[in-house]
Amino acid sequence: MILYSGMFQGNTIQRIVKTFLLFLSVYLCVSMILHHYILPETSPQIMDYPRSGDIIINKFSKEKFIFRKTSVESDGMYSQNDLYIDRSGFDPRPHVHLNQDETFQILEGELTILIEGKENTIRRGQTFTVQRGFVHQYLNLGKEEMHAIVTVNPAEKFDLMLTQFHGFFTKDEEPPNELIWFLQTIMYNTYYDTYPAKFPVLFQRALSFILSPTVRLMGLHSWYPEFSEKWRHSENR
C-alpha cells in the first residue's frame, strides 16, 4: 500500500509538471506570435527622434548630452553630441554596440574609457574611437569637468536610445534597481542593438525574443513617448 501510494504521488507530480510545461510552451508560443507579428509595439515617428539643441541630463551618472547633429538631420549617416561629465561621473553600464563606431574628441578635461576591461585615458586635443563590437564604459577620473564631441557612425537609433535609456534611468528619485533595469534591457537591447556586457549577445537576443511579450505585459516598452518629449528643447517643441 505504501509503495502504491508513493507511485501514485509520483505520477501525480509528473502529470502536474507535464501540464505546467505544456501550458508554459503554449503561452510562450502564443505570446511571441502576438507580440512580434500580430500586435507589435507602436513604432516612433520621425518627430519623436531628438533634434539639434535637445539636452539630456542624468543627475545620477553626472552626464549631460547636447545634440549637435542627429540621425534625422544626417539622414542616418551619423549622430553627434556634446558630452559633459562632471568629476567622478560615469557611463552607468558597460555595454557594446554591434554595428556602430563611437568616436570621442576631447575638448576639455580627460576621459577614461575601459575597452574590454583595458583602461585608456584620453586628454584635451586627443581623439579615440571605440570600434563596434567592443565592450566599453567611460568614466571621468580627472579633476575637472570633461567635455567631448561624440560622433556615432552610423546613427541608426542611437539618438533615440539616449533619450529612452536616460529617460528611464532618471524617471524616479532613485535609479531603477537591478531587477527592473534587467527587465527593461530585455525590451531595449535588440531594439537599439546595444547590449549590456554581463551576458553573451546571442543569449540576450534569444532571451529578448522569448520574454519581451511577458515584460511588455508588465508595462515596460522599447520606446516611451514621454521620454522623447522629456528632453526636448523649448525651440523644438
Tens digits of residue pLDDT in 28-63? 898 889 899 998 999 999 999 999 999 999 999 999
Query: What pLDDT is attached to residue 62?
Result: 97
| Number of domains present in the structure of the chain | 2
Q: What is each CA distance from 56 to 64, 167, 189, in whole angstroms?
A: 6, 8, 20
111 Cβ contact list (under 8 Å, min separation 6): 85, 104, 121, 122, 128, 138, 139, 140, 142, 146, 148
Query: What pLDDT is attached to residue 237?
Result: 59
3-state SS, residue 210: helix
CB atoms within 10 A of CB 92: 16
Query: What pLDDT is attached to residue 186?
Result: 96
CATH of the domain at 121: 2.60.120.10
3-state SS, residue 186: helix
Residue 46 lies in a domain: no
- pLDDT of residue 235 exceeding 80: no
71-117 pLDDT per residue, tens: 999 999 999 999 999 999 999 889 999 999 999 999 999 999 999 98
The cell numbers describing 95, all together, are 555595454
Q: What is the pTM of this model?
A: 0.89
Residue 213 lies in a domain: yes
* The residue type at 37: Y
3-state SS, residue 61: coil
Residue 185 lies in a domain: yes
Determine if the peptide bond prior to 154 is cis (ω within 30°).
yes
The residue among 136, 156, 176 that closes a domain is: 156
One domain, residues 148 and 175? no
The residue among 116, 138, 156 that closes a domain is: 156
Could you tell me the residue range of the domain that residue 63 belongs to? 52-156
Phi, psi of 76 (to 5 degrees): 80, 0
